[in-house]
Structure 1
């Protein structure tokens, strides 16, 4: 296992799995500017790391993420606020843009930009004790940027309820709404995450990368255009080494040997 540490972030590499851990438990893992910068840098490095196959985004302590650090949110200029929200939005988009799937490991409360983090990840596994909320309206600051990935995960009516009331969803309702993929007992959280990481690492990295790119691209296309794009992607995928190897391995009843090409 290889590991690296920044003041507010831990990054560990093991067998194709990169674990990125928010490490400000004393501040409920609030997204300070420094932490956002470190997280963005870590994601940029992971994106170009061919040994990284899947990312698990977790957090230290009882809270997953409480959103922006409110101690940095008072009395700033318009330009400073714009820079902060822009930086946060860029990091959220990086989660979708990097070639590796990103799984949120949610052990506790995820609020405001913390809920946004969960919604921006490709997959999410939550403890049965986790809760999700966008409570900015309660302090006079509507969760407008967290709204962007939230409404792309759950129904507009439920998203609006969360945004207007600030009331949290428990894990069960978050699962029903489509915000998370699975619920686990707290003691089983890592085992359930490992089921997903194991399945992803077992597949061709080329195929996973092509699929993730195509998934998000087609979401913004009309149906005929989406099909046209999908045909091109599948054609490129089919002639690649890994697809030919996978087909041959299936027919020959043997394990596939992926080259990532």
Structure 2
């Protein structure tokens, strides 16, 4: 059930809790020694846990994870306030102003826009904001801390706006084959630096293929991870019925069980 508290009251309670945790007198020893750099990994982790709850369709978990993610924002804002840089109210007001500015068709003018037109206008507005921050260059402002696959997609999407791009997904597949051949050519020498370079190129092209297909490369890989975990779990569960583990059977036997798990998922007999 929705809380009886108003949003403002609930938020004020959370802000007070955060301030208490960081109080030099009687606060939490762990919280008191944290800084922006040490908290940042938790912020990223909580965002992924929100995505996981959404993927699983678990609204109870989503409620919990959104709270954890909000707490991260409150945490950073509290530390910034202690430095005299800004406070949570400034964070909220800044995003409020930004959303109003980026949606003039809603808040300022009566011009109707399609979703595609609004996306174009949004990107133009962000480009203006980057220019105001003296961030020059087509690729400026794409955070280094993004997951590598996500950053690859953002980099090449930005480059695509100035027509530096493959024409279609088929062309990216051709490039993928080229990069795979280059990697294969490096295998006999097994030079770690060269192999790392070629594997990086291969991953970069794969990220572009996902972009060309309007897919999120990170989401695709997370899905593949979940599928691997699920199917390997079937292998272990099947073996456990006979009191065995993967260490007790051959690779060929595990491969056959893997194929069985795939058939089960597809509803095949």
TM-score tier (shorter): under 0.3
Q: Which has the higher helix share?
A: 2
Q: Which has the higher strand share?
A: 1
- Higher RCO (Cα < 8 Å, 6 or more apart): 1
- Over alpha carbons, which structure has the higher Rg? 2
